[in-house]
Structure 1
């Protein structure tokens, strides 16, 4: 977190997965592997790593990525196909306490934005399940524009949408590499660890 206290933050920018939406591929693969945690972790590390997910977050076609991965891991093809076919099962729902905070910020009149690394295809499948997404003034979804965090280009793209300098935006994300990058680009930042810690930060800075 930035240490400088702010009494007013004109724009607040949220990540989605891990902050407002409880996304975790383990939710699906625990079912597929009958709760075998070691097998789940090995699969996610070797077959379905985060570096591969970033390709889809960047706009690469999901089904094409699956087919290419199946060529590398033919014995895991059924599980790779399930990742797309049952992708909705990687989400358990929203994170209720963060949604409550979002509602308070909305009531207080802050402009609200989304900056999320998310495949355009999978985001379209779940968009309607989360009505609170309608509360945002605008959303920047990486897969829709072919840019991803923590690259500077996507933050510049966001600022064009917001119409404010980075120093007048508070960016919340659950990944350290993203908050560190945003801070280097001049944003106020919060590394999200829990709704309770986030709420305390907002109260301490007199944002709420």
Structure 2
């Protein structure tokens, strides 16, 4: 059995809430092919990384739209339809989080999230207010998988990597946590996450 960690750290996007801009932009553009052309022409995920580092949400989206007049109206919908991209909730993960908290287990968030976009999400998803500690890239001015963000978590909570269990859907984010000695689980579904936590001594 793996060592029981002192705290559980959740990513948010695609762990607690689905994050799927491509699905929404297939609708906006009218087809997958048109969406793929847009995403190949305009680095929308790079734009979102800037927001996650703390850049202002609306201003960043509209500035990117102005640089690409052919797609201006469509790019601006990254702002107007953001909540559609960040949905629905992954209910099984919510149950795991709340079960852990009911057992007195400290539960943290570590997520690439802009300041204004997180405020939007908070208004829709009450679970985002239930963490014992929240580490959000927009406030920290650094995004995963930069090693610095993991170091900042350790320094703030006073726990070493080996005392932290982290789940995230992205392989690069997991690899960066592994490199600091964190216990990790690459998220695919709530059932697999529950199994990984049971293996570490949590009665889920």
TM-score, normalised via structure 2 length? 0.92
Alpha-carbon offset, residue 161 of structure 1: 2.7
1:101 match:
96
Alpha-carbon offset, residue 121 of structure 1: 1.2
Structure 1 residues not aligned, in runs of 5+: none
Where 1:114 maps in the other structure, the secondary structure is strand
Structure 2 residues not aligned, in runs of 5+: none
State how far apart, in whole Å, the 1-side matches of 2:50 and 2:104 are.
36
Could you report, residue by residue, the CA deviation over 1:146-195 in whole angstroms, capped at 9, with x for unpaired residues? 11111122112212332211110001110000000011011111111111
Could you report, residue by residue, the CA deviation over 1:49-83 in whole angstroms, capped at 9, with x for unpaired residues? 32232111111122332233224311100011111
Q: 1:22 aligns with which of 10, 18, 25?
A: 18
Verify: 1:8 aligned to 2:9, yes or no.
Answer: no
Alpha-carbon offset, residue 48 of structure 1: 4.0
2:183 match:
188
Contact 2:9 2:165 in 1 (8 A): yes
Verify: 1:139 aligned to 2:143, yes or no.
Answer: no
Deviates more, 1:38-47 or 1:84-93: 38-47
Contact 1:6 1:207 in 2 (8 A): no
RMSD: 1.6
State how far apart, in whole Å, the 2-side matches of 1:45 and 1:10 are.
43
1:72 match:
67
Could you report, residue by residue, the CA deviation over 1:67-103 in whole angstroms, capped at 9, with x for unpaired residues? 3322431110001111112211112221001111112
TM-score, normalised via structure 1 length? 0.90
Verify: 1:114 aligned to 2:109, yes or no.
Answer: yes
1:156 match:
151
Figure out how many residues of one structure are paired with residues of the other and give that number.
203
Where 2:181 maps in the other structure, the secondary structure is coil
Contact 1:174 1:193 in 2 (8 A): yes
Deviates more, 1:6-15 or 1:48-57: 48-57
Alpha-carbon offset, residue 7 of structure 1: 4.4
State how far apart, in whole Å, the 2-side matches of 1:186 and 1:17 are.
23
